[in-house]
Amino acid sequence: MVLQETLIINLTDPNSASSSVRSGAHRWLGAVIFPDPDKSYSLGSGVATLQFSADGDNFVNSNKTFSNSDAGEFSVDITGVQSIRFSTTTADGAADPSANIAVYLQ
């Protein structure tokens, strides 16, 4: 069974984090970042990093990032991960304050 969620992240705020998604019942994650389709923003040079949590509260960075300069799609093994979220690791004041991250859990 595939679960699809859309998360919102503010790429202009260096301390921004998306809401979290429980991923414990899934083994693989794929995701795509894109600008808010209802606005005319771009992703700019903002970077979002995938974060993992074993308890749903304490998150650590993974080595997977999203930015305007890459395809923004990947597949990663999330076996043993209880929750995931994304954080802004490089902010861009001109980037989308409500960028979308489509997450696919399988």
pLDDT at residue 70 tops 90? no
Beta bridge partners of residue 13, listed in sequence order: none
User: Quick check: pTM over 0.85?
Assistant: yes
Q: How confident is the model at residue 75 (pLDDT cuts 50, 70, 90)?
A: confident
Query: Average of pLDDT values for 43-56?
Result: 95
Residue 71: what pLDDT?
Answer: 63
Residue 1: what pLDDT?
Answer: 67
Query: Average of pLDDT values for 37-55?
Result: 93
Number of H helices, E strands in the chain: 0, 8
Q: How confident is the model at residue 72 (pLDDT cuts 50, 70, 90)?
A: low
Residue 4 has φ and ψ, to the nearest 5°, of -115, 130
